[in-house]
Amino acid sequence: MTPDETIPASEPTTKRAATRRCPVCGHEGWRIAFGMVVPSERQKMSKTEFAGCVIVEEQRIYPATGKVEWGTPKWACQNLECRHRWW
């Protein structure tokens, strides 16, 4: 490879591009990424919600059982009216 050639950017992996359906409204849900993510990596993770550097446990009521749980959300509904977060 000569110095003026560049290595082609890899396509997003299946895990990075994965989505789930929201258990509350059925809309598309995206993974939540915590921490500082450089712009080049953000472009590779197009269907990801970036939540910054502060990781906070949240309380939720599990929709199927009504049980109260604590945890760090890994997924976020992209429906602006719902915005349910789950793990």
Q: In this structure, what token pair is assigned to residue 79?
A: 């429906």
End-to-end CA distance of the chain: 44
Is residue 21 scored above 90 in pLDDT?
Answer: yes
Is 76 within 8 Å of 49 (Cβ atoms)? yes
> Within a 10 A sphere around the Cβ of 82, how many other Cβ atoms?
15
At residue 9 the predicted structure's pLDDT band, cuts being 50, 70 and 90, is: very low
Please report the pLDDT score of residue 1 as a whole number: 44
Rounded distance between C-alpha atoms, residue 45 and residue 29, angstroms = 14
pLDDT digits (tens, 9 = 90+) for 38-83: 888 888 888 999 988 888 888 888 777 889 989 999 999 999 999 9
Separation of alpha carbons 84 and 87, rounded Å: 10
pTM beyond 0.75: the answer is no
